[in-house]
Amino acid sequence: MTQLDHQVHSISPDVAGTKVFRFISFLYGIAAYLMFLVTILYAIGFIMGMVVPKSIDTGTDSSAIEAVTINLLLMALFAVQHSVMARQQFKAWWTQFVPKPVERSTYVLLASLSLLLLFWQWRPLPAIIWEVQDPDVAVTIVTLSFAGWVLVFTSTFLINHFELFGLQQVTQQLVDKQASPPRFRTPLFYKFVRHPLYLGFIIAIWAAPTMTVGHLLFASVITLYILLGIMLEERDLVALFGDEYRQYKQRVSMLIPWRRSV
């Protein structure tokens, strides 16, 4: 058991251990997961400009300065919430107030809410940077973007989809099973790059047949955020898995499959 596991919970073990509490936690975990599903599906439509009522290139008209400021603030809110709450030190602190089995679901719920706020309040910057005229090339680019999303989803299942989105934790608590410790995995895509899920995101957000200033701002900031996120995540992964992860870093490249240690 690590030092972090010894944190005190403000909800007493008696209450946290009751069947009612465990069942409510389970329902909460399912609600958070459904919220995540709605958010990620909306995200695909928002970024690709398909199906959803408000996309990255539609919404309230505003001056360029106002649009850039609001959009940067929305992305900063998501980035801070998403990164800070994912750190081990933060988890150790806030599981004094939030019971451990619902910690991940709460994280997923808040990340979904901050993304939905971004989609809702995002200001379009519709000036066009590039627009592909050839319909075949345009279809190929859209297909590449879909492939990026498929890579994102597949990677979550390769790592552990249900643990990543909190369902495993609330289910284990419901059936009174010990939480399983994190395991180092390198299945399939993880043999070629260390971060296939993030690579999928990068492909999905950049593969656009029409690139507006707003979309470019989004893609650029999210890409920088992903690179920063990788640094923080890898620091945690080295702390968690030690030499196993250090050797993995030497063996397998970060994002680009054909180069090592990039």
Ligand X SMILES: C[S@@+](CC[C@H](N)C(=O)[O-])C[C@H]1O[C@@H](n2cnc3c(N)ncnc32)[C@H](O)[C@@H]1O
Contact region with ligand X (CB under 6 A), list: 67-75, 142-150, 185-193, 208-216: 185-193
CB-wise, 132 or 159, nearer to ligand X? 159
Contact 255, 112 (CB under 8 A): no
CB-wise, 25 or 156, nearer to ligand X? 156
233 binds ligand X (CB under 6 A): yes
- CB of residue 3 to ligand X, shortest distance in Å: 18
- Give the integer Cα–Cα distance in Å for 131 and 192: 32
How many CB atoms are located within 10 Å of the residue 137 CB?
11
153 binds ligand X (CB under 6 A): no
Q: How many residues of this chain bind ligand X (CB under 6 A)?
A: 14
Rounded (10°) CA dihedral 45, 57, 207, 152: -30
Where in 34-93 is the site for ligand X (CB under 6 A)? none
Give the residue, chosen from 186, 210, 223, 253, that forms a contact with ligand X under the rule CB under 6 A. 186
- Give the integer Cα–Cα distance in Å for 117 and 219: 17
Contact 212, 127 (CB under 8 A): yes
Give the residue, chosen from 43, 115, 167, 197, that forms a contact with ligand X under the rule CB under 6 A. 197
Q: Which two tokens stand for residue 155?
A: 């990677």
Q: Where do contacts with ligand X occur on this chain (CB under 6 A)?
A: 155, 159, 164, 184-186, 190, 195-198, 233, 236-237
